[in-house]
Structure 1
Amino acid sequence: MSDTVDSNAVSLEQEELRGISRTVAEIEWLLLVLVLLYYAFGGGHPEDKAAIVSGLLAYTACIMGFRYTHFFKRESRWKVAVETWIMTAFVTWSLWHTGKLDSPLINSYLLVIITSALTLGKITTLLELALIATCFVLLGDYDSIGELTSLSSLGGVLAEFAPFILVAYITTMFSSDIRYGLNKAKLMSESDDLTGILNRRGFAILADRLFGQAVRYNRALSILMIDCDNLKQVNDDFGHKAGDVLLKDLVKSIQGQLRYTDVLARHGGDEFVVLLPETTAAGALDVAERIRRAVDQMHAGGNTIHTTVSIGCAVYPEEGRTLDALMSGADRNLYQAKSLGRNQVVR
């Protein structure tokens, strides 16, 4: 069951990394085009032309290898980090043959820094800055260590390198803010405002993945549809605020009977859905009965409100070979439980 959660987490990370990889590819091609244009319009000394061309060919081969040979079967942040190191090497090679620190291509390092800041985070970007700073020293062509460590030389290097530090800081902060905002918006769009659990949209996204895994690996999976038996009466007798308290306490009681691998969501109004990965019919009925008993013993609103739940259960593949069929089967069984007198489980 923990394997299910791990697989789902890996799937989500792979989606994010594929998006990052596309962004990195665009920046890599942009860097290649910049150097190619510089060469095409006569930049650099004639004796350096062959070195520039060899650098362009080698870098193109690296891009093609990373992008189109499928040598890497899975995306990873290590792969992106290696690509930024190759970008740094290509920029340094190009600068060495086009004027070193006086080269008009010196700002190409910014593409490396932006790539790292947008995709790899603060620590890796700091390491990338250290690598580029080392390249700066090599490109400075100092005659001795004493000349390098002189106050005037250090001040000059710092002045030239300061814009790169500033861009790294701003881009990293900007990326962090964007990522935080997107995660917050994603969480809000997939969570129920009242109870804090998944809403229908969030459940649908997660359930599709988990059900797909159950089908692919021929694993058991069960669905519980849970309905509060007297929410309308509570709202009428005590007000909607009391009904909200009841729903929150109801969610806590349900969660108390679930494993961390199980998925609970608010399906709408007073109806909830639980997805139980790798759970057979016997296991699902046991969980449903434990939920029913826990809710029956629960008193909300300062021990003044009592409620019960009716539960419909459906199991893959017996009750359906698609997620929609399974949900429909659990829903039918729920209404049968209600029609039979409520406060019971039906499969």
Structure 2
Amino acid sequence: MANQNILITSAGQRVSLVKAFQQELKKLNSENKVYTVDINPVLAPACHISDGYKTVKRVSDECYINDLLEICKELNVKMIVPTIDTELIILSENKDTFLKNGITPVVGDKDFIKICRDKRLTNAFFEERDIEIPRALEKDAPSFPLFIKPYDGSLSKDTFLVENGSQLTDYHLTNPKLMFMEYIDPKEHDEYTVDTYFDKNGNLKCVIPRKRIFVRAGEVNKGVTRKNEIVNFVEKKLSNINGALGCITMQFFFNNMTKRIIGIEINPRFGGGYPLSYLAGANYPKYLIEEYILGKNVDYFDDWISDLLMLRYDSEVLVHNYEY
């Protein structure tokens, strides 16, 4: 039987994610490989941890899809796991090209990806599911404090806390991409990232909230899993999402006193803090392998470890004989 290999794109620093897929995939066959691609793989730690890597052009390059397909054929890849937002639309638009070659990109339908990538559409999606969102404010009649963010942003780029009118600039007022909204006070609300898993039919199979204690460069650096009201809330409001599949990372604010839950955003991919959920027992790499390589069904899972604290630190990957 030929190897059942997996390719993780834009691998960058996702060492823990690569190791998780390696651990689960090699249980099937020790010869199975988890490969990686990156635009500069020599400087990507996860590429050196993987079983092999290739260089790819930027997602915006017209040759990207064809080059990625050829890499998958060469390495006998059966599943592609994207890790950054900019890959999602182009992979969803070209999903059939890969499927015809026996390769499954783990990416939702194009319409769902568009909802996730545009915060205005995300807000509308939440409201349709009776999920509260931060109150929108008009630029010409703001109340303070307020929060500003772009409707198509990521990694906390171009976000602003504005405490009074003197802090507003022409950039804030004239940039059509910036949304003005109610400021959610972190003294009253905890911010949660929720790692959910949706099967190939869009059915919810796992919900694991993790409280964001400290964030560095838009990615959780210290966090803790919590079995709280968010679990039942997501189960009730989001038990099925048309076009969603695999790991869908959602963000909510939660007030422990009032139990208010506020939807913030949805990212249809593995988030940077997913390793905490994996170590708590939410084995999404295993679920993906079972569904898309073994053709099995995935059962609902809620027996994960609550109150598990993750404290991240920097480590090193050494590359010998490197020439710049």
Name the larger-Rg structure.
1
The structure showing larger relative contact order (alpha-carbon pairs under 8 Å, at least 6 residues apart) is 2
Shorter chain as denominator, the TM-score bin is under 0.3
What's the TM-score, normalizing by structure 2? 0.26
Task: Specify which structure has the higher proportion of strand.
Answer: 2
What's the TM-score, normalizing by structure 1? 0.25
